[in-house]
Amino acid sequence: MKGVANYVAAAVHHNDDLVLQHALLVKRIASHLMLKLPDTVQIDDLVQAGLIGLLDATRHYRETGGASFETYAGIRIRGAILDEIRKNNWAPRSVYRKARMISGAVRELENQLGRSAADQEIAQALNMTIEDYHQLLSESNSHVLFSLENSLEREQVSGRDDPLGQVEKGAFREALAEKIKTLPDREQTILSLYYEEELTLREIGEIMGVSESRVSQIHAQAAHRLRARLQDWV
């Protein structure tokens, strides 16, 4: 990370005020993503990765009547941090296995039912108690969070200059919006508060009158449903 730090320092020295003006944006996005990671992860690593994304944004942004610099930079910052997370692969293999197991069960069950499956129904399909299922949701939450983040990131940045990519991006955005509307109301609300309002899981829990851990479980459930319903995309 020393090389990264030197790069950041040199770029800030030679570059614009944009870097300094948006440094807090890097910290905010890093802190938001940090909440989903194990305690062993250092926020400084995420911040440095985010600064690389910010610097790339200052170099590539063009005022063309499209997104504002802050919006564009936010996408690049988030993407750089997600790349750092993927590169280090902090989640153990068991987490990926559990996430695939839940998404597979949800997909199979909802295909049979023709509707959203309730927690108890999914737990029964997995041959476990509702308590064990909720624990499984909690354990897989970090993986499905980043899986969904990756899908949203791809929707935002793919195909920027490629006509075919633009078509694919539009198709994915349409499919994602359609599937989100099919989620149970409570799951839609949590996704909106988390991704659009950028509230923390704790803040969402206070609004909805449930614990932070319960919000985490509901979010994981929503993400598993989306993975199951968007299997051709994610």
Q: What is the mean pLDDT of residues 121-148?
A: 83
- Please tell me the distance from the alpha carbon of residue 152 to that of residue 127, in angstroms, as a whole number: 32
- For the whole prediction, is pTM greater than 0.75? no
Amino acid found at 52: I
Q: Quote the percentage of the chain above a pLDDT of 70.
A: 72
What are 77-98's pLDDT values in tens digits?
A: 888 888 887 777 666 667 778 8
Write down the pLDDT at residue 159: 44
Whether the Cβ atoms of residue 212 and residue 202 lie closer than 8 Å to each other:
yes
Alpha helix stretches (DSSP H) within the chain: 2-14, 17-21, 23-34, 43-60, 69-88, 93-113, 119-125, 130-157, 163-181, 185-191, 201-208, 212-229
Write down the pLDDT at residue 110: 93
What are 21-37's pLDDT values in tens digits?
A: 888 999 988 888 777 67
Q: What is the mean pLDDT of residues 155-171?
A: 52
List of domains in the chain: 2-88 (1.10.1740.10), 93-229 (1.20.140)
Among 223, 64, 68, which Cα is nearest to 152's?
A: 223
Write down the pLDDT at residue 81: 85
Q: Which residues are CB-neighbours of 151 under 8 A, at least 6 positions away?
A: 172, 176, 226, 230, 233, 234
Whether the Cβ atoms of residue 84 and residue 45 lie closer than 8 Å to each other:
yes
Report whether pLDDT(44) > 80.
yes
